[in-house]
A and B are shown apart, each in its own frame.
Chain A
Amino acid sequence: MHVFVNQFWCLEVRALMSGELIIQAVISGLLMGLIYALVAVGLSLIFGLMEIVNFAHGEFLMLAMFTTFWFWALASLDPLLSLPLVAIILALAGILVHFGIIRRLLKAPMLAQVCGTFGLGVALRAGAQFLWTPDFRTITNPLIAGRVQIGPIFIGQPQLITGGICLLSFVALWWFVTRTETGLGLQATAQDRQAAAVMGIPTERMSALGWAIGLGCVGIAGSMLSTFYYIFPEVGVNFALLAFVAVALGGFGSILGSLVAGVLIGLVESLGGLLLDPSYKTLIVFGLYLAVVIVRPHGLFGRF
């Protein structure tokens, strides 16, 4: 009888808690989803411009996090301050990768393209492990720390500011792509490369710009992520996996698609982890991907 009562008491407590817990999970899922979206939008932009999937994307996120870490460890520069520096460094790396590797790789068949960027990722990850060991590192005492309390809900301040910066970056990207002449050139190149070239748009430079913006976004995401996440050579793998799903789910080449899909994945992951079991998060996300792709083979907003 005692056990019986105890069980009921537990159920009641759970029912009482679950409302708040679910709101909590929704908010943290939203904030995490914004990071996935920002990582994904770079991938999506690059794919839209030259139909290549950058399988080393997660490794660039890892490099951005390590760059932030070393700025903090060696020059005691706070992640919030080194953010523009990291974004610029990553953008330059993107231009370098485009002219050094991608231009050549574009002539190869698809399997070789997949393997090529995959190989780059493996080399970067192993290189990071060789240089900085597989240890987990954290940035302690960043400018933004602690948490915010709204009623019964707690939100980590780093997560909140990260979400805000990700959203700001999206607005800026949206403005750039749709309102400026260069952005329109970018869109034209993505739509029809040859026609854009005929109209006098420097398509080669647009592709390089796409890489710069794509990796710049990764730089911002990585820099902010390092304020509350562990930094280690394998960190990019999981983020990249979810970013791939976000890109495919939203449809390759669609900026809005990656935003919606990234947030959706963050929500599904966080709610699924709460309601079912945290270790099945990937399975749930995969189920979502498969369900969407079977109904809509080109993702939610895809053109390709």
Chain B
Amino acid sequence: MATAAPVGRGARCGGNRVVARLSIYLQGIVFPSPDDSHFAVCAHGPIVERGSGTVRPDQPRPSNFFGIGAYSSTVLFTKYAITPWAGLLVGMLLSALAAVAIGVPTLRLRGHYFAIATLLIGSSVQIVFQRWDWVGAASGLYVPIDRTSPLFYLQFHTSKVPYYYLALGAAAAGYLVVWKLRRSRFGFRLQALRDEPDAAASLGIAIARHKVLAFMISGAMMSVAGTFYGQYVLVLDPERLFSMEISIIVLLMTVLGGSGTLWGPALGAAILVPLSEFSRIWFGGTGRTIDLILYGILILLVCMWRPSGILSLLEERIRRRTGTHEPAP
């Protein structure tokens, strides 16, 4: 993700516009601005939605589905000239199927055994895509440039602003789905499963089936983000698409904001994306890893001092002010 924005971008940005840009970033998630300098937000906007989709946030390698989404739309487009919109749906379907294939054997594992299994699956999928000649093997795929019908081919070359609206729309749709889901019977069952697995099982909730379903939904959402990301950067590199970094960023957004909450991931993204952009602008080309150092230290500090996320801090403050003891929805 550190390479999401083109390399030359840092050089183009003068330091005098930094303050202006901060406001743009901060409102970027809710209020779009016609300034095309905010396009990094577009790239990461879709990632937000996956974070919010984490009914089970304990899988360290969600980038599998991100990559599957990007590959599905691009392969269909380059090989059969099928619009990325159809590729989006195919990607969601394939990701859901992959989630079943991964989930059925591994979701019955507990705790760390499961975490390590997903770590390994991530590496395995990456190896498979790096060796698969039909999808370009290790050198990846390029999305052919087409300027005739931006909306049909889902690529915009005159301005980056449409990407922003796409990302915003996808994030909003994702949030709507999760919001609806949390208030449905299915959602309540999942929450019961998360909080008290044994009690939930004794009440007759089919643990395995619900876990796999949740995994499928989360995978399909991540796949949407992957398709948009592929159309945005126009080049698919298996090294980057299935990288640990994307998984880390998504996890970090979730943990930083507050895992298991609705708005936590959005809050996490609103903090992390500007942080990464600023560290890149300020430290320029000198140390490309400074943003990762900051990320690492930040995630460590949050986990040490505020493991339930920043959102819980705000909630606590609101509760103290209003004097109520009900947990915020």
Give A contacts to B, CB under 8 Å: 47, 53, 101, 104-105, 107-116, 118-127, 129-130, 237, 241, 244-245, 248, 252, 279-280, 282-283, 285-286, 289-290, 293-294, 297-299
Contact = CB atoms under 8 A, between A and B. Distances in A.
B262 interface: no
Contacts of A104: 304-305
Interface in B106-146: 106, 108-113, 115-117, 119-121, 123-124, 127-128, 130-131
Interface stretch (B68-76, B294-302, B319-327): B294-302
Contact of B303 (A105, A123, A130, A297): A105
Name which of B112, B303, B305 has the most chain A CB atoms within 10 A of its CB: B303
10 contacts: A101-B300, A109-B307, A114-B115, A116-B304, A119-B298, A119-B300, A120-B300, A122-B299, A237-B244, A241-B119
Interface residues of B, number: 46
Interface of B: 57-58, 60, 105-106, 108-113, 115-117, 119-121, 123-124, 127-128, 130-131, 244, 248, 251-252, 255, 259, 287, 289-290, 292-293, 295-300, 302-305, 307-308
Contacts of A283: 124, 127-128
B290 A130 contact: yes
A108 B119 contact: no
B271 to A, nearest CB: 15
Contacts of B127: 279-280, 282-283
A103 B58 CA distance: 22
Contacts of B295: 119, 122-123, 126
B124 A282 contact: yes
B111 A110 contact: yes
B107 to A, nearest CB: 12
B299 A126 contact: no
B307 A108 contact: yes
A130 B293 contact: yes
Contacts of A297: 108-110, 113
B293 A118 contact: no
B112 A53 contact: yes
Contacts of B119: 241, 244
A122 B124 contact: no
B58 A110 contact: yes
Contacts of A252: 112
A123 B259 CA distance: 22
A129 B289 contact: yes
Contacts of B304: 101, 104-105, 108, 116
Given A105-B303, A282-B124, A123 B296 contact: yes
Contacts of A122: 248, 292, 295-296, 299
Nearest to B110: A297
Nearest to B121: A286
A53 B296 contact: no
Nearest to B296: A123
A67 to B, nearest CB: 19
Contacts of B259: 111
Contact of A124 (B58, B296, B298, B303): B296
Contacts of A111: 57-58, 255, 259
B104 to A, nearest CB: 11
Contact of A118 (B248, B289, B290, B307): B248
Contacts of B299: 115-116, 118-119, 122
A286 B121 CA distance: 8
Given A114-B58, A127-B293, 12 more contacts: A47-B112, A101-B300, A104-B305, A107-B307, A112-B308, A113-B303, A116-B300, A125-B296, A244-B119, A280-B127, A282-B127, A298-B113
